[in-house]
Structure formats: C-alpha cells, structure tokens
Structure 1
C-alpha cells in the first residue's frame, strides 16, 4: 500500500502542476480598424482596471498604451472600469464643400463605442478610425442623483513609442522645436511631432462647450497629457467632450491629408451653403470716409471683394462708452457702403468683445439695415468654457442675419464652419502683422493650418512707402516673392491681402498682379514638397487654372517639383512670379506638362508663385 504521506505529496504536486497550466485571463482588447485596414486603435481595461488605448500604423506602434478618462465630481472616470457593451458601425460619406481646399471631403471611418462604468459613473467612449487617424471622445449621460457635474481635469495621455520632437507654441507665439522629454511649457492643439520617421498631429474637433485644453508633459519622458488652460468644465444633463484626434503620416507633407479632419466631426448645416456666403480677398481701410472710398476703388480694380473697417471705427474698442451703433465722425459709413455696392465691393465691420457680449442682438439687425455684409469678432474668449460656449450661438446669430464672419485673436477652429459656413476664417495664428521669419512661415503649413483656415493678414509692402511709418516695427523678414507664394500655401476663404496697405501708394501693378488673380477657395489641392521649417510647395486648382506657391525657410532650397497633378494629355504655360534679387518681383513664362518636373531654386527667405494655364 502506498505510504499516506507520499500519496499526499503527490496530490499536492499534481495540484501545483495543474495551477501552472492556468494563467490569469488576459484583458479583453477591443479594436477598430480603418477602411484601408492600415490604421488601428486598441482599447483595453488593463490589469490595474484602468481604461487604456494604443494606436498602430500597419504593424508599427504610433502610440503605446495610454490613459483614458477624466475626473468627474471627484470620481476618476476611466479607473475601475467595467465595459458593459460594445457597438461597431461603418460610415461612408462624401461631402460637397465649396469653401475648402477641395471640392469634396471624404468622411469614411469605422466607429467603435464602448458602454462603460467607473464606480458610480456611467459613460461611453466613442472611437472613430480613419485612414491615418484615430479619434475619441467621452459621452456622459445625465448621472443618477445629480443635475450637474464638474470635470476638474482630463486624464487623456499620449504615450509616444520613443523620442519625439514637438513644435511647441501657444496661441499666437512662435514655434519652438523641443524634445518631448525636455518640454516645460504647454502646447496648443493642433500639435505636430516627429521622430524623423513618423509625423504626428494631435488635434481637437467639435469644441462647442468645453474649455481650452492644451498638451503638457506627461508622467514619463515620452508621454504627453491633456491639461486645462484656465478653468474646469461644468456639465449639465447629457454632455460630450470634444474629440481628441491623432493623425500620422510617413512624410511631413502627408499631414496635409488631415487638414479637413475637424470638419468631418461637426454636424452639417441645416441647409446647403447659401449663395450669399462669398469667399474673397479684402483690404483694410484707414478710419476715414476717403480711405474707405479709395479702398473700394482699389478693390474693384484689383479683384478684391471686400474692404474692412477695423478696430476704432466706432471709438476705442475696449471702452464701454464706445457705441458700436454709431461710427466716428471721420467715417460717413452710409456713403462708403453705398459706394461699395455700386462697385460690387462689400464692407466688413470689426466689433470688439465688449460690444459683442452686451449688444450683439442690437447691432445685427442694424448692420443688416445699413447694408454691411460681414463682421470681424475681436478679442473673443477662446480660453474658457464660458467664452467657448458663447461663440456658437453668436456665430449662428450672424449666420441667421446673413453675415460672413472672421474671428480674431486667440480662437482656433475645431470644425464649426461645417455647421455654420458663414464662419469663413479665424486667427489663432502669429500672422504677418507680427513680421514672423521664414522658419515660422514654413512651419505653419504643418501645424496650425492642420486645424483649418487661418487669417494671416498679409502685409505686402507699399511700393512708395516701405515700412517707414509707425505702423511697422520692423521690415518684413521675408521676400516679396514669399509673400505672393504664401497666398497659395496658406488656406483661408477670406484672405486679408493688404493689411497695412494704403491703396494710393501702390504704383507697380506688375508686383501685385498675382494677388489680383489668386483665388481663396479651391477645387483641388496638393502638397508637392516640404519639410517642417525648411521649405514648402503647394499646388491648388480653381477651374482649369493651377496656382503654385513655393517658399524657402532660413536656408536656400533647390529641388524639382512633380507636375503629375496636370492632365497628362495637355500642354501648359506657366507665368512665374519670383524675386528679382533687387527687392522686387520679376515675371517670366515657361512651358510644362505632366510628364516632367519643374526645377526650383529659392534663396533663403524667398518664394515663387506660378499660374499654370492650358495652352490653346
């Protein structure tokens, strides 16, 4: 008979052996892939019961496991999470869009929604995966037992798979390339990062009632975290956060494919874009009647559609005593508006936040009666939940009264132009009035312009007065050729071309001829070549005519531009506007076709603009 102690030892050994064969269950991974199967998001509740995600491009990690969640009423939503359900769907859509860089916006994605519970909080994580992009937002239904909530912070992070450089900036500052591990300041959305192999854009879409969020250094040297710029977020009833987006490309110019991404998240307008929303170019007028009349004559003869009376037309803009319903005595506004109508030139008026917040409902019907066609909102609050929540209602009111709109200062777009197409452009950019250098100019196409249109306020120098008056703190840091080129490179349906220009001082029509011809919206656009902060070349088509803008950074650039965007069975002639080496513009012509490339050689800080037309 087998010894009892030996039998007991054998049974214990068998028990341990059986335990070794059964490891703890692995966390469930929920995933969604892009229509082309090349981009993937994976989401899981990890072993610490925290909701996390990661992103892949093919088989290469774009983001390692990163945190999800937020702090709602003291509950760490995302921690101790249980996923109750998952829902998957597919979306295919083509949007006709006459106010953009292309006629059509393709909005194709696969969506995955997870119904989750964290402690006492129920919520949904909604994710969308596009070709090259992932996006997610938090949906918070009205919580049981409370009518309002407070989000003190967001716990979203972006764990990079190694060392990356971020092009740090805030609102209207310059860009500072900074290793993520060394980041001390915050960075605005959209934020552009690269490790030399991958190029990432981390952005935001559909922010209509949140606060301004920024990126800060995360808990590890290769991570970034969402932080709030100024305040917390109050919720009421059903609430949704803005979308967080991550786009990836294998080249710097590849990021341009995502410049319309914010538009894809916002709900469409209730009707087709009305005819009264007209894109165009403007010149800013001095604050006198004669200045307005002169600008209208100049606009009419140079294919500009608008003039602008900027800050001061109704008095000092920040004083509550300034009356936005009464022009200063120096401006006979009815006379200027009537003259503009006779020349088919519209008048746009600036209104500061002080007047907007107290008298918007009064000024809109009055300006409509006057015959004003557009407004420029000044010094709006794009930093707090209260300020950001106020804007959509104000934009809608302007839309309902039939005004095109430009929003200035710290506000950046998150796609609202799809819902309110009268919002043609906005600032949120260090524009030309600050005289940025060529490095800044060649960083912008890969950063701020990935959020949408921007009003750069071009300050093309007058022929007779080259930055001699007190409006200019310094001369332009780039060439005139670069100024011409950037009007193609930079997208804005409403372009301020002559910001400081006095129309009576321009006497060289050859220099500004290109501005007369260049459109502001496009049927088709292609980024031909570019590296962040080094050079950029963009081709855009309106009708049968192509426009190409090329700009160099702080060093010379020589290369060859592909012409494959041209029709293969046709021949073309290009009119080329470029720096003459003596501070002015020279013009030449060249024949070209799709079967060739175009050699380009630019001096540092220089530029070149082309108009390419079919040969008869």
Structure 2
C-alpha cells in the first residue's frame, strides 16, 4: 500500500478512538469533522483515474483509455468483457518532447459511423464499415496532440494526430512509444518482408516481426496490423520490456512531420478461431480514405510473363487469349540491365518490337504490362508515364522499391497517384506491403511483400500465409506452375516444387490478388495438357462473396469464393495429410449443383471428376500432405 495512505488510515483509527473515549461534546465535534475530512482526502487519493472508452457496434469489443498514476497515457483492449491487452503505454517521442508521458486529457468527442461501400476489386463486392470513434484531445507539457481510436466488431484501431499549433510547424518523431501488453502467454508467427515464418513465444522473441503479426494463445487469435501508411517510415514489432509484451520500433529512420500530421493506424483484431481472422482482411481499406469515383478502366485479371523477344510477346498474347488471361508482362531486362543508370526505360532492347506486340495485344483485348526498376523510376517516372500512355501500355510493375524508409514510402504514395492519374494499373514488388492505399487508388491492384512461389516455399509456409500476410491485403504470389512434361531446370529455378500442382490450383482461390501472375517461369509452348491448366482458365481474380470455411495455421486451409452464381473452392494441406469434410452451407437452398473437382493424381498430374451437390451436403476432404484440391461449383439448369 502507498505509505501515505497507510499513515492516514492509522491517523483515522486514532481519531476514531479519541472520539469514542472523550465525553467533551466540543472536542468530539472537532474530532468528527477531522475524521470526515481525513476520510474524504483518503477517498480522493484512492479514486481511480477517469477512464474514457468506446465500444464496438456489437458491444463485444472495447477500448479503455486513461492517464495512469505516472501521468502516462495508457489503453487496454477488452473482448467479450475480458482484457486481451492489459494497460499499455501510448505515445510518440519527438526530438524535443515526449507525447504520452505527463499527459492531461483536455476534451473527448465521440461519433458513430455506419456505412457500406461497393468494392468491385475485392474478396467481397461490398464492404461494411461500422465503428464507434473516440477522440481524445491531449496535452503533454505545452504540446497538444490527439489520440483517435475506432472500435469495430472485433477490432480496435488508433492513431496519433499532431495538430497545427503555435510554435509548431514541423518536427521529428524519433521513436514510437506504442506498446501491446498481452494478458497471457502468446506465440507469434515471426517474419520480416519475404522470409519464412517462425512460431515463437513472445518471451523468446529475439528478432523483429513485420505488420501484420499473428499471435495465438490457443484460445484467441490476434492480428496486430497497420493501415494508411503513406508518409511514415516502416515500423516493426519488437519484444517488449515486460513479459508477454510487444513494442514498436522504427526499421530504418526517423519521421519528419508537419502540422496536422497523422501517423498510420495501429490495429488489434481478435477472433476465437484462426479462420475468424479473415473478417479483418479488408480492415486497411476501411481505415483509408476512399477513391472519389471508381474508374472503369481498372480491370483485374491474370497474366503470363513473356520472354524478352517480339515473338515471345506475340506467343504470350495468343496464349492469353486461349486461356482467358487479360495481360502479358515484359519483366526485368526489356530495356536493359535493370540496375544500371545507363539502361533507359523509354527504349526497348532491339529484340523487342514493342509497338508490334502492343498492337497485337490491342487487337486481341490483351494488355501489356511493363516492369520498371527503382533506378529507372526515380530517374524518369514523369517521362515514361505519358510516353507509355502514347505507346498503349496497360500497366506498370515497380521493382526493388524502397518500402522501408519515410522518404521511400512517401515517394511511392506520390508515384501511385501519378500512375493512377495517367490511367495505368499497378503492381509493386519486393519489400512493399499494402496498408489500404488501394482504397484511395484502386489501380494499385496488388503488391509483393511476401515470400512467393519463385522462392519455392513449403506447404507449412503456404498454409500460414492466409492467416498472416494476406490479412493486410492482396499479394502477388507469382505461381510457378510446372508444365505437363518436366519441372523447370533453368538458372532461376533448379529444384522441384515443394508442393503439388493441385495445391497451386487451390491457392489461386485461397490467395487473393486482383492481378494474378500464373506460369511465372513457363513458356506458352510448354503447356499442352488442357486438363491440367483448365482451372486457371476458369478461375476469376475478384469476387462477389468469400467464405473461409475451415483451417488451422500451418496445417490446412479451405476457402470458398463466389463469382456470379458459380462458387470456387480451394483447399490445401500443410505438411500432414488432411482428412475431414466441408459443409456446403453457402450454396443456395433448393438448387442442385455440379461440382467439378481438380485434384492431384498419383502420377503427379491433375485428375478431373464431377459430382452433384446441394446445400447442406458434407463434402469429404482427403488431401495428402503438400497437396491440394480446387473445385468449381456451378448451378445445374
């Protein structure tokens, strides 16, 4: 107990005894008044700090904020009335002052948001955006700042705002003080950028972990994420100062600010099952400002990468027509060595007759996407955009961008807008991960920031991704589907794939990306077995509705997605065999459907079969380790 409180309570007892023992009315009255005054003072010392709170629309998720006894701004998160995060410190370290410590709360405001917006480029064609918001206007010393928190069903999101004020025009954030103090022992699936995942308990964490980070204690599943980062630096999660906690650290540099500066959102999402985390995959979109109007030239689709000759480009276009692809891509090297400043992205190499390829694409309604490395982008972005528009290019792929520093992220945000303004779709590769900016610029169809198929990941990695990186948004996995005759043995790909063809078919449903790269290391002439590639021809890349049916992190995953009246189901096994069943409750009642099933055969090819199914059926699953199954379910006439 506080020693002052202990001493005061001792004095109260002495006063009470004196009142009992004395018979003098005046003395008893004086002592009684003194006892009451002491009691009031003790009560005021004991009084808990004022708690500010906001609750989700369904009433199950709550954020509580307060200034603790040490004068630090703190918060905690409750789910189903139980704390998930215990009291955790908030704040920013500026060059000259700490925001968070020595805080006074000046004012609070609250509001409710209930909207739905159309999203034709997503996992679902409409997104519900319901939340309750609380804004605390705070002061640390003489410096004013705001803490904005929004509470969705299952999620708490907050950000810091540095408003315009006297004597402040710009500053430097040298550290973010945000902490996450969990109330139990959790395992985190640690990774950075394009690495593999390593499950490790928080207290044993020695490396940093990227956003979004997935954690579980076996009962709850958490995703700690980031949204709306267009002018900050890359931040990572680190082991916290106390047990079962995480802190936030800058990866590379500090953050220059100006008046009315807003940090990215920090998000904490909670589910009672691993598969329940999928409901938060559109959260970054909900926390990012919307596009004014969806442009009709933004078209999702599938692409095949072309070798660097005119004939290869023409052949890829013909292949794209036959296989219902929408794009081809000329990747690194089409204008010379990509890292050399002497290579000019305004001039194709002599082996490519770019006008001829682009025209052949236009004649067949196939778009051409061009890769440009960071070196060329930084030197000539404002030159190539109007030039590529004149050429008739459909889209760009950015390569080896800087998604790690404030300067690099800010440059990318500006570049995304420029590409949008010029009417190109966009794919950003290497270390860049989404934070919802596609809601502002829907031409940004996909990005990497993932250990994709060109790195030959195993089935454990493939069945961790849906519960981790894909919670941030679309990812370009670059499927390296082998041809029917051989596995690839060129310089880029020397080992046999670690998963089956059936798993790759399944992952084209499980993994969401409006722009899907298929046959990454393939040549159009290699693929002469139409049954093996048929599912890629049929599967869409954007959806009207998505259902995550069942799954466990690193073990198995099954996802159903609907386009029109047709459902597509992808199921993939991890490193162990999977025997179970899927409930077909998502089908329309009273209808019969034909389910066309594509699965691995014993010879390493794809077997195709059909069965009749209806709503409520239990569909058996028997998938061997590292394999998968893709299903197309169409209503019968």
TM-score calculated relative to the size of structure 1: 0.98
Q: Secondary structure at the match of 1:462?
A: coil
Aligned to 2:445: 424
CA distance in 2, matches of 1:146, 1:489: 48
Residues 276-330 of structure 1: per-residue CA shift (max 9 Å, x gap):
1000000001111111111111111000000000010000001000000000111
Once the two structures are TM-superposed, the CA of residue 393 in structure 1 deviates from its matched residue by 1.3
Verify: 1:199 aligned to 2:218, yes or no: no
Aligned to 1:489: 510
Once the two structures are TM-superposed, the CA of residue 74 in structure 1 deviates from its matched residue by 2.7
Residues 44-70 of structure 1: per-residue CA shift (max 9 Å, x gap):
001111100000111121111111001
Verify: 1:355 aligned to 2:402, yes or no: no
Q: Where in structure 2 are the equivalents of 1:574-589 lying within 5 Å?
A: 574-589=595-610
Verify: 1:553 aligned to 2:580, yes or no: no
Which range is displaced more, 531-540 or 589-598?
589-598
Aligned to 2:295: 274
Q: Where in structure 2 are the equivalents of 1:183-582 lying within 5 Å?
A: 183-271=205-293, 273-582=294-603
Residues 335-357 of structure 1: per-residue CA shift (max 9 Å, x gap):
11111111111100000111111
Once the two structures are TM-superposed, the CA of residue 18 in structure 1 deviates from its matched residue by 4.9
Larger radius of gyration: 2
Verify: 1:83 aligned to 2:105, yes or no: yes
CA distance in 2, matches of 1:105, 1:217: 34
Q: Which ranges in structure 2 are unaligned for 5 or more consecutive residues?
A: 1-20
CA distance in 1, matches of 2:49, 2:409: 39
Aligned to 2:4: none
Once the two structures are TM-superposed, the CA of residue 462 in structure 1 deviates from its matched residue by 1.6
Once the two structures are TM-superposed, the CA of residue 270 in structure 1 deviates from its matched residue by 1.8
CA distance in 2, matches of 1:190, 1:457: 21
Aligned to 1:15: 34
Once the two structures are TM-superposed, the CA of residue 469 in structure 1 deviates from its matched residue by 2.1
Once the two structures are TM-superposed, the CA of residue 569 in structure 1 deviates from its matched residue by 1.4
Verify: 1:53 aligned to 2:72, yes or no: no
Seen in structure 2, the aligned counterparts of structure 1 residues 439 and 10 have a Cα distance that, compared at 3 Å, is same
Once the two structures are TM-superposed, the CA of residue 3 in structure 1 deviates from its matched residue by 8.2
Residues 539-577 of structure 1: per-residue CA shift (max 9 Å, x gap):
000001000000000001111101111001111110000
CA distance in 1, matches of 2:605, 2:26: 100
CA distance in 2, matches of 1:181, 1:33: 30
| 1:140 corresponds to which of 158, 162, 165 | 162
Q: Where in structure 2 are the equivalents of 1:144-155 lying within 5 Å?
A: 144-155=166-177
CA distance in 2, matches of 1:523, 1:140: 39
Q: Secondary structure at the match of 1:311?
A: coil
CA distance in 1, matches of 2:398, 2:166: 40
Residues 478-519 of structure 1: per-residue CA shift (max 9 Å, x gap):
011000000000000000011111110111111000000000
Aligned to 1:166: 188
Q: CA RMSD in A?
A: 1.5
CA distance in 1, matches of 2:38, 2:500: 75
Verify: 1:94 aligned to 2:113, yes or no: no
Once the two structures are TM-superposed, the CA of residue 75 in structure 1 deviates from its matched residue by 1.1
Q: Secondary structure at the match of 1:514?
A: helix
CA distance in 1, matches of 2:171, 2:459: 46
TM-score calculated relative to the size of structure 2: 0.94
CA distance in 2, matches of 1:203, 1:462: 38
Moved over 6 A (4+): 2-10
CA distance in 2, matches of 1:220, 1:10: 51
Once the two structures are TM-superposed, the CA of residue 264 in structure 1 deviates from its matched residue by 0.5
Aligned to 2:3: none
Once the two structures are TM-superposed, the CA of residue 605 in structure 1 deviates from its matched residue by 0.3
Once the two structures are TM-superposed, the CA of residue 145 in structure 1 deviates from its matched residue by 1.6
Contact 2:543 2:563 survives alignment (8 Å): yes
Aligned to 1:64: 86
Residues 60-107 of structure 1: per-residue CA shift (max 9 Å, x gap):
211111110010123110011100000000001101010000010000
Which range is displaced more, 456-465 or 322-331?
456-465
Seen in structure 2, the aligned counterparts of structure 1 residues 113 and 585 have a Cα distance that, compared at 3 Å, is same
Verify: 1:613 aligned to 2:634, yes or no: yes
Contact 2:484 2:605 survives alignment (8 Å): no
Once the two structures are TM-superposed, the CA of residue 596 in structure 1 deviates from its matched residue by 1.5
CA distance in 2, matches of 1:35, 1:178: 34
Once the two structures are TM-superposed, the CA of residue 13 in structure 1 deviates from its matched residue by 8.2
CA distance in 2, matches of 1:274, 1:615: 35
Q: Secondary structure at the match of 2:102?
A: strand
Q: Secondary structure at the match of 1:108?
A: strand
Q: Secondary structure at the match of 1:455?
A: coil
Aligned to 2:200: 178
CA distance in 2, matches of 1:203, 1:432: 24
Residues 235-256 of structure 1: per-residue CA shift (max 9 Å, x gap):
0122010000010000000000
Seen in structure 2, the aligned counterparts of structure 1 residues 146 and 510 have a Cα distance that, compared at 3 Å, is same
Once the two structures are TM-superposed, the CA of residue 391 in structure 1 deviates from its matched residue by 1.2
Which range is displaced more, 516-525 or 464-473?
464-473
Once the two structures are TM-superposed, the CA of residue 441 in structure 1 deviates from its matched residue by 0.2
Residues 113-149 of structure 1: per-residue CA shift (max 9 Å, x gap):
0000001210010000000000000000134223210
Which range is displaced more, 142-151 or 339-348?
142-151
Which range is displaced more, 23-32 or 409-418?
23-32
Seen in structure 2, the aligned counterparts of structure 1 residues 20 and 489 have a Cα distance that, compared at 3 Å, is same
Q: Tell me the matched-pair count.
A: 614
